[in-house]
Amino acid sequence: MEVLWAPWRMDYILGPKPDECVFCIPEHTDEDEERCILLRAEHCFVLLNKFPYNNGHLMVCPYRHVSSLTDLSEEESCEIMKCVTISCKILEETFNPQGINVGLNIGEAAGAGIAAHLHFQLVPRWSGDASFMAVFGETTVIPEHLSSTYKKLKPLFDRYGK
């Protein structure tokens, strides 16, 4: 029998859910590595998903606590799309995926896990990555530890910093 090891999932499953919004980040950068923040732009930031669907699963969020695209300013909208594009470029050069799902779920009914704070999801994809484990076992196999992925991606995002 093979053992699948994904210890960070247990924190999400059993851990207390925070009272504050996980996407409302402090202005200081002291916690950026702990929070998996890869890039801080003027109006938004890029971070690794701590509970990824696939290796390299990223999110792009505005700093402002808004829940809909229509709540964003034109500057915020443009910068978010620029960060989504940069993120795709970095994912392509780092992980060589065969595709990338880029998505936005607006509202709980649309599947937003955290509906109160808008966030784009970027999930690198490879043919066959939805294996029997994902389909029948409701389990995702992530081949690289989150901290290793962070260390691999952070220097690439640093090229695009403020």
Active site residues: 119
How many Cβ atoms are within 10 Å of 144's Cβ, its own excluded?
12
- CB atoms under 10 Å from CB of 129, counted, come to 17
